[in-house]
Amino acid sequence: MKGLKSAAVPLAAILLFLAFWEFIVWANDWPNYKMASPSDLPPAFWKFRELFLEMSWQTLWRTVAGLGIAVIVGTLLGMAMGFSRVARDALYPLLVGFNAIPKATLVPVIALIFIGQHDFNTVLMAFLISFFPIAVSVGIGLSTLEPEYRDILRSLGASRVTIFWKIALPKTLPEFFGALKVSVTLAFIGTNLVEIVSPHGRGLGALFKSGETNGDYPLMFAVLIALAALGIVLYYAVVFLEKIFAGWAERPAH
C-alpha cells in the first residue's frame, strides 16, 4: 500500500500539470504553432517514434557517462577539500569561479578545441556542469565530521582509511545523494547545450533544433517532454540507489 501511494502521488501531480497545461492553451485559444498542448504531442511522438528512440538513447548514454565522471571527480575533489584545509582554501575559489561561468559560453570554446569530437564534447559538458554540487556536498560532509569520532578511533589504532570507510563515508552519503539528484538534471542540461548550440545531428537536442528549423512546435514540445521523462527516470534511479546505500538517513513521515 505504501509503495502504491508513493507511485500514485507523483503520477497524479504529473496528470494535474498536463491538465492545467491543456486548459491554459484551450482558454487562450493558442494555435499549436504558438503553444502546443499535451493533446498535440502523441501524434508527434508517433510520427517520429524511431527518431525519438534513437535520439533519446544518444542523449541518455552521454548524460550518464558525463554524470559518472562527475561522480568520480567530484568525490575525489570533495575528499581533498574535506580532509585538507589547505586544499579547501585553494579549490573553493576556483570551483566557485568556474561554476559562475555560463556554460553556454563554453560550448563554442570546447567545440573549437576538440573539433569533430562530438561525443567527447557532449560528455565533457555534462561532466563540467554537474560535478560542482557533488564536490561541494562531499567536502562539506567530510569537513564537518565530529573530531571526537576521529580521536576515539585513532586512539584505538584505526588508520585514516578505516576512519574514512567506517565513519566519514557513511556520514557523507546523505549529502552525496542529495547533490547527485541535483547533478542529474544539470547533466541533462549540459548534454543538450552541446546538442543545440553546437549541433551535430545527434541526441534530443538535435531533434529539438530540427523542430525549431521546420516550425514544428508539437515536435519541439514533445522533445521537451521526452527530456523531462528521461530526467525523471534517472532521478528515480538515484532515489533507488539512495534507499539501498543511505536509507537509514531517511526520516519517517508523520
Q: How far apart are CA 139 and CA 115, in angstroms?
A: 35
Q: Which of 21, 49, 34, 72 is nearest to 207 (CA)?
A: 49
Return the residue matching grid coordinates 514533445.
222
Q: How far apart are CA 218 and CA 240, in angstroms?
A: 33
Give the chain's domain count: 1
Confidence of residue 155 (pLDDT cuts 50, 70, 90): confident
DSSP state of 115: T
Residue 5 in domain: no
Residue 60: is its pLDDT beyond 90?
yes
Residue 132 in domain: yes
Q: How far apart are CA 75 and CA 139, in angstroms?
A: 8
Residue 253 in domain: no
Q: How far apart are CA 19 and CA 35, in angstroms?
A: 15
Residues 6+ apart with CB under 8 A from 54: none
Residue 32 in domain: no
Give 184-227 pLDDT, tens digit per residue.
999 999 999 898 887 677 889 989 988 888 888 889 999 999 99
For residue 185, what is the domain's CATH number?
A: 1.10.3720.10
Domain with 102, as residue range(s), is 43-246
Residue 3 in domain: no
CA dist list (Å): 172 to 153, 176, 238, 249: 18, 6, 15, 11
C-alpha cell at 163: 576512519
Give the torsion through C-alpha atoms of 30, 31, 36, 37, to 10 deg.
60
Q: How far apart are CA 252 and CA 193, in angstroms?
A: 39
Give 84-122 pLDDT, tens digit per residue.
889 888 988 999 998 888 888 888 888 888 888 888 999
pTM: 0.86
Residue 6 in domain: no
Residue 233 in domain: yes
Residue 101 in domain: yes
The pLDDT of residue 130 is: 93
Residue 253: is its pLDDT beyond 60?
no
Query: ∠96-101-190 over CA atoms, to 5°?
Result: 105
